[in-house]
Structure 1
């Protein structure tokens, strides 16, 4: 400090050209130094105080005035809501016009607060207000565009005072579905505006705002608006085609879907063992019929099967027939769906328009939205039993934590007495009815959550969809909801686990994946994939058992297998296995090279790692040199236990959570 003061003092004695120019901090310090220290400080502090007071008063005045301007707009919103509930076209149109004028007035008045953008902390709130006003403007314009498109169909849809009084909800829905294709060409502005609204809202941080203000859940509704628009972005971007196909998809004319319930506690290629199925008939946008059965019902009632099982199913499940419940062997869901429909048609079932697959994970997560459910006859208190910890939680209710375990308990343990398989699985029907009742009696806040819920699980592959119609299937693929193995020009990895005889161990299994790449002498890139498995729950011969896993990894076409460590059997052909590598080239599916392995793992065994080492094709090295970038698409298996995924090239590492398909990019030195 003394040395610094000495340097400053010497600066005063230097010739002007050599003196250091004082900074603004030096000038402020000079203003406040002795002998005028007390007087000048008082003047400075007084000036700052007066400035802050003036800013506060002006801001408060404008904020209060702005609030007064908002109140009439709030009344207009209530009028708009009333018109929507009454399906009154004229009232909705008038409300939107008033709302447009009100927003213009708000924007004019809000511009008077422009100076706030320069004030620390307040500037971010001012910017949020601009984004909110822009969103409101776009929302009103979008609503008006929809009304213009609907104008020719007002009477048909019952939109207006006196219109539609004799039209039932079902008739109105039928009329709407018939109208949608005609609207497709008139709503281009709507799709464009929805994209802009999403961009504006995403620039607002909901965490800056209170949970509730004057009875309005500000943060909740802002987060829900962002979530819904983000999750439906693929749908919005293809809005025209969606409208054209929506009537057929929603049952105009009537159609039936085959819905598969996949138990991801017993993981299979497309999500889980097929424990049951439903025939869901939709007509005019509503569910007209729903028939549910266990997977065993199919085998008992309709004997035709798929013929001889594939070698891996025959060997590890020790069966001589390929059963319906095991038909989802292909990791490409459209292929598995076609296989299932093949035996479906041979068995004499009525034709269906498509196949949907639902993992139990989605049902458990739904209880996070609805809250716990209690079902009479299935409401035992299991807290003091010797069942696994997740089963014992929740008291007498089904919760997101205990759902899968308790369903297994009532189906497998059958505490209700000696009953048939169909009777034991009646719990699924009762649970479905209770869940629908819970949703239908919930508050309005649940609907945007459900909307976001469906699209999030489509993205996370807990809900898969296949359509028989080629155009519908093409749209589903473009939206990313088909569950197919995708084409990709860079590095690629898909790890597919099939639990062949490990009970319900996937309920607890934990997996991590580590990948590393190094360039070897001939310029080829050698890749090492380590898959770590661990089941922390003790063996109970019911849910947690000896894990028997058939693993396939899908890698870029032309890759060559170098080694496999940690397996009992190595598969380099879809028909044969060995204890050593027989065919380094593996086999080809979906434009990818495939390597397989089989291993077993007891619960609570730590440190188990299955390792694949393979050389990527020469074209991969050339592409990396040209682009200077490493690109990887890691496609998630539906229902997978894989959480953390790491990729390392030299000193560079990237980590992602595998909640959905992930693309990873790393810049490399050329």
Structure 2
């Protein structure tokens, strides 16, 4: 037994590590093969899916691209139809474009997975926004074109003019304009959404083709938005002002800007204009002295002291009523004085006393009194130039008036020729009524295709304050404010400036005077100093209509400004004050502004300068130091277009400015610019 055990122990031990090795290797290999097959299958599925998905996405993108270009072609075709007054066909094409934009957007909405890829997602999002803008624009475009089609349906005849449209047709047109208000506010909403969609597209990271395609939208959409925003107030203004369903009477003032006054010019002619359902029911004008001369000495309202001193008019009258540079204030005062003077005339007639007009002449009658004045319309003769350019030459009182000679011809007749023609002085301004009537006839008989040109002239004149409007209706007046046609002294939080000249008995000299306003800003220790320098160059001669310039000038600046220095003020001109004493500077406050005023006189072919230097209030300093920005509003006086030079030294580097400076002035700490003050100017500067 023992030996058997020893023998057994002597036998070699089995190698258990070898047991099952070959089966395990075969199994692992099999698993690897299976996994590989599965992975391969998955890859094939994924790749196949990606190919199928890619083809689907490619087809979607390609179809969307084709639909978008087809929509673009429809829009271009619609413009052609609209220009040819085929509004319904134009609207149908816009509707087609809208449908195609919608289809293109639906196709792109299905492209989901690609949107998770950063670069591609930016491109697709941009296209989404473009299509959204296209949908909003075409939806609005169709509505507007159909509205135009409805409103203009009575006006399709090529030979039709405003004069040939019946009053009932005009009333219906005004009615449709009133009824369209809610629709056009919906259009405004769509335009705003389209503008926001385009504004949200990043300017960087876009492929060049897409960037180039979006560029026109970036340029034109804001302009369309401004057009809509500016047009909407007209929906309320025009029907009420034009006498829709209720006749409106206006006090008409012709302000001669050759004799400059605060709201545009000397009021030499007044009148009554009546409008009803878009028609001129009545328009009568007269020499303002016929109403003024007798009544002003009955009323005995004291004139503002500069009028009393420099015009030697103790009693205030309608012709000088526009002393306040804020036109709504002047308009209210004008209606008040018109009422007083007419009542004074009525009392004189009742008592059997004669009506005394200009230079002591006896007047038979004045324009019948209109007690229900709805508003005031003040114009300068400048608007006649644009209208005569459109109508062509007009003949009145055997004189030919053109866009280049109307002012000279009017001055010749009113100031000199009437004497040679034995026209009574009280009737010397009858030529103005005759000229207005002839221009009206020509305008009303123009083809309606010229109506946009007439509106362009009118809107430009109102933007430049050659026409000012005031109405008693608060809602409409607010819209006139918003449109910029009220001629008010505006209220702003930032810096402010308006220079207001008033001709003080220097004939029609202002037409020969060149003006330049220099405004500078600088720090002096802890004070912010404003400096206004008004340079006058009198290019007139001594003639029957021109002489030395005599002007009382007021400068309105932010409330709380303190005058620290001035120069150029005179006591009077060299004839009335041979010693040429220095004048005093008046200081005061009104219209939530501080003002400084002074008199200056400048001989023909000489220059003169008024300077006002003042400390600006803390709120303007804080704009620059704390708010890191600066705003300045320079308002234009109606009736004159001076040059404006700005030298604003902030002591801080400028990041951006609007309007932009000339390129040579960039990259420093001051703003320097030369601008034509043809309308109010907003200057906005941001600092780094």
Shorter-chain TM-score bucket reads 0.5 to 0.7
Corresponding residue number in structure 2 for 1:363: 384
Unpaired runs of at least 5, structure 2 = 1-65, 105-129, 157-163, 198-219, 344-368, 573-580, 651-668
Corresponding residue number in structure 1 for 2:551: 549
Corresponding residue number in structure 2 for 1:337: 331
- Label 1:407 to 1:149 Cα distance change in 2 as closer, same or farther (>3 A): closer
- Label 1:504 to 1:281 Cα distance change in 2 as closer, same or farther (>3 A): same
| Structure 1 residue 590 displacement after superposition | 0.7
Q: Equivalent residues in 2 for 1:221-620 (5 A)? A: 232=227, 234-236=229-231, 239=232, 242-244=234-236, 246-251=238-243, 252-300=245-293, 305=299, 307-346=301-340, 347-348=342-343, 349-350=369-370, 351-368=372-389, 370=390, 372-375=392-395, 377-379=397-399, 397-414=400-417, 416-442=420-446, 446-521=450-525, 523-537=526-540, 539-569=541-571, 579=582, 586-606=587-607, 608-620=608-620
Residues 537-566 of structure 1 deviation map (CA, whole Å, 9 limit, x = unaligned): 3x2332221110000000111111112111
Q: Distance in 2 between matches of 1:168 and 1:526?
A: 59
Residues 318-343 of structure 1 deviation map (CA, whole Å, 9 limit, x = unaligned): 11211110000000001111111111
Q: Is the 8 A contact 1:498 1:551 kept in 2?
A: yes
User: Which of 665, 670, 682 is the matching residue for 1:652?
Assistant: 670
| Structure 1 residue 595 displacement after superposition | 0.6
- Label 1:409 to 1:582 Cα distance change in 2 as closer, same or farther (>3 A): closer
Q: Distance in 1 between matches of 2:228 and 2:74?
A: 30
Q: Distance in 1 between matches of 2:452 and 2:191?
A: 16
- Label 1:231 to 1:339 Cα distance change in 2 as closer, same or farther (>3 A): farther
Q: Distance in 2 between matches of 1:420 and 1:311?
A: 32
Unpaired runs of at least 5, structure 1 = 1-61, 85-91, 110-130, 161-166, 201-224, 380-396, 571-577
Q: Is the 8 A contact 2:584 2:598 kept in 1?
A: no
SS of 2:645's equivalent? strand
Q: Is the 8 A contact 1:553 1:594 kept in 2?
A: yes
Q: Distance in 2 between matches of 1:517 and 1:527?
A: 5
| Structure 1 residue 148 displacement after superposition | 7.8
| Structure 1 residue 359 displacement after superposition | 0.9
- Residues 1:663 and 2:682 aligned together: yes
Q: Distance in 1 between matches of 2:177 and 2:319?
A: 38
Q: Distance in 2 between matches of 1:624 and 1:508?
A: 39
- Label 1:76 to 1:666 Cα distance change in 2 as closer, same or farther (>3 A): closer
Corresponding residue number in structure 2 for 1:101: 96
Q: Distance in 2 between matches of 1:266 and 1:365?
A: 20
Corresponding residue number in structure 2 for 1:81: 85
- Label 1:103 to 1:73 Cα distance change in 2 as closer, same or farther (>3 A): farther
Q: Distance in 1 between matches of 2:276 and 2:486?
A: 23
Q: Distance in 2 between matches of 1:269 and 1:589?
A: 14
Q: Equivalent residues in 2 for 1:118-133 (5 A)? A: none
SS of 1:630's equivalent? strand
Q: Distance in 1 between matches of 2:615 and 2:570?
A: 22
Task: Single out whichever of 294-303 and 462-471 deviates more from structure 2.
Answer: 294-303
- Label 1:582 to 1:257 Cα distance change in 2 as closer, same or farther (>3 A): closer
Q: Is the 8 A contact 1:135 1:197 kept in 2?
A: yes
Task: Single out whichever of 637-646 and 403-412 deviates more from structure 2.
Answer: 637-646
| Structure 1 residue 444 displacement after superposition | 5.3
SS of 1:503's equivalent? coil
Q: Equivalent residues in 2 for 1:150-165 (5 A)? A: none
- Label 1:196 to 1:373 Cα distance change in 2 as closer, same or farther (>3 A): farther
Q: Distance in 2 between matches of 1:661 and 1:540?
A: 33
Q: Is the 8 A contact 1:261 1:275 kept in 2?
A: yes
Size of the alignment, in residue pairs?
513
Q: Distance in 1 between matches of 2:469 and 2:287?
A: 20
Q: Distance in 1 between matches of 2:82 and 2:585?
A: 72
SS of 1:375's equivalent? strand
SS of 1:339's equivalent? helix
SS of 1:270's equivalent? coil
Q: Is the 8 A contact 2:188 2:229 kept in 1?
A: no
Q: Distance in 2 between matches of 1:150 and 1:306?
A: 57
Q: Distance in 2 between matches of 1:486 and 1:147?
A: 38
Residues 156-206 of structure 1 deviation map (CA, whole Å, 9 limit, x = unaligned): x9899xxxxxx9832233244445544432332333467799999xxxxxx
| Structure 1 residue 139 displacement after superposition | 6.5
Please identify the structure whose Cα radius of gyration is greater: 2
Q: Distance in 2 between matches of 1:557 and 1:604?
A: 36
Corresponding residue number in structure 2 for 1:57: none
Q: Distance in 1 between matches of 2:76 and 2:489?
A: 54
| Structure 1 residue 366 displacement after superposition | 2.9
Q: Is the 8 A contact 1:139 1:197 kept in 2?
A: no
| Structure 1 residue 613 displacement after superposition | 1.0
Q: Distance in 2 between matches of 1:336 and 1:75?
A: 45
| Structure 1 residue 407 displacement after superposition | 0.8
Residues 27-70 of structure 1 deviation map (CA, whole Å, 9 limit, x = unaligned): xxxxxxxxxxxxxxxxxxxxxxxxxxxxxxxxxxx9xx99xx88
Q: Distance in 2 between matches of 1:142 and 1:74?
A: 10
Cα RMSD of the aligned pairs, angstroms, is 4.3
- Label 1:180 to 1:100 Cα distance change in 2 as closer, same or farther (>3 A): closer
Q: Distance in 2 between matches of 1:488 and 1:75?
A: 41
Residues 221-267 of structure 1 deviation map (CA, whole Å, 9 limit, x = unaligned): xxxx999969855533xx2x653554332212111111111000000
SS of 1:257's equivalent? strand
Corresponding residue number in structure 2 for 1:144: 143
| Structure 1 residue 468 displacement after superposition | 1.1
Q: Distance in 1 between matches of 2:260 and 2:339?
A: 26
Q: Is the 8 A contact 1:198 1:229 kept in 2?
A: no
Q: Is the 8 A contact 1:634 1:662 kept in 2?
A: yes
TM, length-normalised to structure 1: 0.67
